[in-house]
Chains A and B, each alone.
Chain A
Amino acid sequence: MLAKTLSCGLSGVYGYPVEVEAFISSGMIGFEIVGLPGAAVKESRDRVRAAISVSGLSFPFGKVTVNMAPADVKKEGTAYELAIAVALLAARSPEAFHGLGETMLLGELALDGRLMPVRGALGMAITAARQGVRTLILPRANARECECVAGLAVYPAETLLQVYGHLSGKAPLAAQPTARYETLAPDAPTAFDLKYVKGQPAGRKALEIAAAGGHNLLMTGIPGSGKTMLARCLPGILPPMTYEEALETTLIHSAAGELGEDHGLMTQRPFRTPHHNVSMPAMIGGGAKARPGEVSLAHNGVLFLDELPEFRRETLEALRQPLEDGFVSVTRVGGQNRYQSHAALVAAMNPCPCGNYGSRTRPCRCTPAEIKRYLGRISGPLLDRIDLRVEMDAVSVEEIETSGTEESSAAVRARVLEARRRQTARYAGLSYHCNAQLDQPGVERFCTLDAAAAKLLHQAVDRFRLSMRAYGRIRKVARTAADLSGHEAIEAQDVALALQFRTAHESYGG
């Protein structure tokens, strides 16, 4: 007596189909799983046995063998348990089941027969649709993330018994209604709006330029000056996520098990704030189970590193490649996984170890050598990838209270969208998407200065003793400033504005 069901394994963010075969023969009573099961899959035996019995169904009598094909790939995780249970039931009474060949089954079983959510359901659903599978049965908690996958009927179930009822045709389940991405309101307002950020004109402008040109941003300021608050506003002034972006981001979150239960496609850009003692695998991705790291979870969104100098040096060094290339490759025994990582880096730091340097009310007790050592913890190569550096104003509470209303995120976003549109038109057919990606030839070609701007920039190079690298960086930022103010060539005021976004500390490397 043989039965076959279809399930799915996870490799990277997408799935690969796994056939689950169950065979019952007479002989010594036993239950074996073959086909390179991992530890969690081996433990499935006890959960499957209990779930079937508690659900009031009968566990097959005899020698039970379950095979999972392809048999040479190691199977990890608990998503196969529903498929195993159904295969066992079908092996016992094959006549009771319909359409097992074109139905993919996903879900972990609890001892009482409930279906528990699984990791990576969206990626597996997309794989199923590509493989020509017509229906997908999965735990209810995972249903919403799959509602936008085209060409696939998704049936959410809560218990093994419901699945049995559906497959045997006795009590069919209701299909999850499909949703269109546009109806999920991708540009709904966020809780963090620039209108609540008081003061900080330079910081606000830096954030706007960062959003418009895709530049990375470093904020320096005393504790409580609003660095984190400002950073949290960045997702809200970036353009709304497109369907493709939302899909990419949700795929990664789903594969990492970070999506949360009953969560549809992500419509808001992610904002990740890893703590500064984060390990390198957690930041970049990897570990024994090869999960995406923080930089991938921030894909299409913002990676915020608060207290930048406190991060481990090797963690920051490892961040450079993913930020540059836009993807991370994690190689493990089982193969290579690739996670996308197009994230805007926003970093924040105190001006000195005690944090009070530049404060009007609290004295700083750090020596120049201590400050130098503190700033020196950030490597030059990483700083080179941060075009915008802004020092926060040390504002007092009275000043905050007296200041009037501030511009809202929506108004800033409108300017950002217009600047992005200009860039898209300018870089059509080229490998660049935004100003931050310009390389040396790109800077020469697109960051053209008018006569007054060129004169001003040369004066600045002399006065501030700017390095060649800083010169290129300022031209890129000036390009974005010009895009924001609608100038075709970069004008003097764009250069002057861009020059505000260097830090006063010369040790930042100019």
Chain B
Amino acid sequence: MHLSEEQRSLLWLSAAKITPSHVTALAQAYGGPEGVWDAFGSRGGPEFPEQVRSTLSTLHSCHAMDGLIARLEQKNVRLLFRDDERYPGQLAKLDDAPYLLYYAGSLDCLKRPMVALVGTRRCSAYGREMAGMLARGLCDAGVCVVSGLARGIDLAAHESALEAGGCTVGVLGSGINVPYPPEHRPLLRKIAGGIGLVLSEYPLDARPLPYHFPHRNRIISGLSLGVVFVEGRIRSGGIITVDAALSQGREVFAVPGCVGTAGAEGPNHILREGGRIVTCADDVLEDLGLAPGGAAPEPDETEGLTDLQRRILDLLALEPLGAQELGERLMLDASRLLAELGTLEIMGLICRESGNRFRRTLQAGNQRRS
């Protein structure tokens, strides 16, 4: 990896997690990043807090910097500077755009239109399913799905995008070598190994510190044309991303939820504040002026169902129900009912939630509607 003097200086500053605005100020004062390098440690040079100074001074030699670059090469992590033509234009326009992004995977994704799916780490089955459905729909239309590689909604979005064969970008709040949560390492490899991309503005071995994440969220929204808040509370990381998106002038969407459930608090709040409502991927595509995918409708699997099965589906269309309630409304004995529910579950028309309630899947709902 060949780097110019300026780039080496920026990498050096990035290793100590100097913020973009601070770097701009320093560059102005000392005549560019390399000026900061030259002036460091001398009389009248820039002053830093003790911890930052010690990190910078450890790396303040050609030998140390060569070691750092070799390590990046060994880990197969590459660098994307702000003046690079491949740097996403959407992001570059921001005042606090990262001056350096560490990445693994393919930069081709950045050429596609991007939409962010964000939400809580503790999601419901509904949230997971909606995130998955949206991610698949967006990928089918050639849109790249951006998310934060966290548990819950993020995981569902990334996995479904991968399943649909689309491309997806994950933005980490830690160094690429220290993914958080740790169990998502295989997911990271899968994304970076395919046509996807994993990004971070933090140095290779930066630990996932709490303050990184809200800061990271501005990159998620900055990359995207729009942000979809799938599920989450009002005080959550998702709302921070939405706020960032609003200040960056991005479109904000939310998936409506059932009033009274914790996960619906955030999206419903956004909808009340004027966010756009999303019930399927086409809603997003239409609002962003991207042509809907126009995929052929799937064959109707509800054909060939018995009357009883249709009645069960109709009851479940209103709300999720337990076997007891279903049995009472249909006047059925338990074994017959459980067998019918099992059959519908195998067909993928209903699914079982925690607490043993049954819910219509989105698949069944869409087919009945069309």
- Chain A interface residues toward B at CB < 8 A: 199-202, 204-205, 221-222, 351, 357-360, 363, 367-369, 391-395, 399, 403, 456, 459-460, 463-464, 481, 484-485, 492-500, 504
Contacts and interface: CB of A to CB of B under 8 A. Distances in A.
A369 B262 CA distance: 19
A358 B354 contact: yes
Given A360-B355, A393-B324, A485 B335 contact: yes
A498 B346 CA distance: 12
Nearest to A455: B346
A499 B334 contact: no
A29 B89 CA distance: 111
B307 interface: no
B147 to A, nearest CB: 17
B347 interface: yes
Contacts, number: 101
Contact of B181 (A369, A393, A495): A369
Contacts of B336: 493
Given A205-B335, A492-B343, A199 B355 contact: no
B102 to A, nearest CB: 26
Contacts of B337: 201
Contacts of B341: 496, 500
Given A456-B343, A493-B339, A202 B355 contact: no
Interface string B317-340: 000001111011000001111111
Contacts of A493: 335-336, 339-340, 343
Contacts of A481: 335
Centre residue among B323, B338, B357 by max chain A CB count within 10 A? B338
Main secondary structure of the interface of A (DSSP, over half): helix
Contact of A357 (B183, B262, B354): B354
Given A199-B324, A367-B122, A500 B338 contact: yes
A459 B346 CA distance: 7
A410 to B, nearest CB: 17
Contact of B357 (A201, A393, A485): A393
A468 to B, nearest CB: 18
Interface in B239-265: 262
B354 A504 contact: yes
Contacts of A464: 346
Contacts of B345: 463, 499-500
A358 B356 contact: yes
Main secondary structure of the interface of B (DSSP, over half): helix
B347 A496 contact: no
A494 B339 contact: yes
Contacts of A205: 334-335, 338
Given A201-B334, A358-B355, A496 B340 contact: yes
B356 A496 contact: no
Interface of B: 121-122, 151-152, 181, 183, 262, 322-325, 327-328, 334-343, 345-348, 352-357
B262 A363 contact: yes
Contacts of A395: 322, 324
A495 B339 CA distance: 8
Nearest to B347: A459
30 contacts: A201-B338, A204-B334, A205-B338, A358-B356, A359-B355, A363-B262, A367-B122, A368-B151, A391-B354, A392-B356, A393-B322, A393-B323, A393-B355, A395-B322, A399-B325, A459-B346, A460-B346, A463-B345, A463-B348, A464-B346, A481-B335, A485-B335, A493-B339, A493-B340, A496-B339, A496-B341, A497-B339, A499-B342, A499-B346, A504-B352
B27 to A, nearest CB: 42
Nearest to A359: B355
A369 B122 CA distance: 10
Contact of A500 (B322, B328, B342, B348): B342
B334 A394 contact: no
B346 A202 contact: no
Nearest to A367: B122
Contacts of A351: 354
A500 B334 CA distance: 11
Contacts of A199: 322, 324
A190 B161 CA distance: 57
Contact of B338 (A202, A368, A391, A459): A202
Centre residue among B335, B343, B348 by max chain A CB count within 10 A? B335
Given A202-B356, A394-B355, A456-B343, A497 B122 contact: no
A351 B357 CA distance: 14
Given A202-B338, A492-B343, A504-B353, 12 more contacts: A200-B324, A360-B355, A368-B151, A368-B152, A391-B354, A399-B325, A463-B345, A484-B335, A493-B343, A496-B341, A497-B338, A500-B345
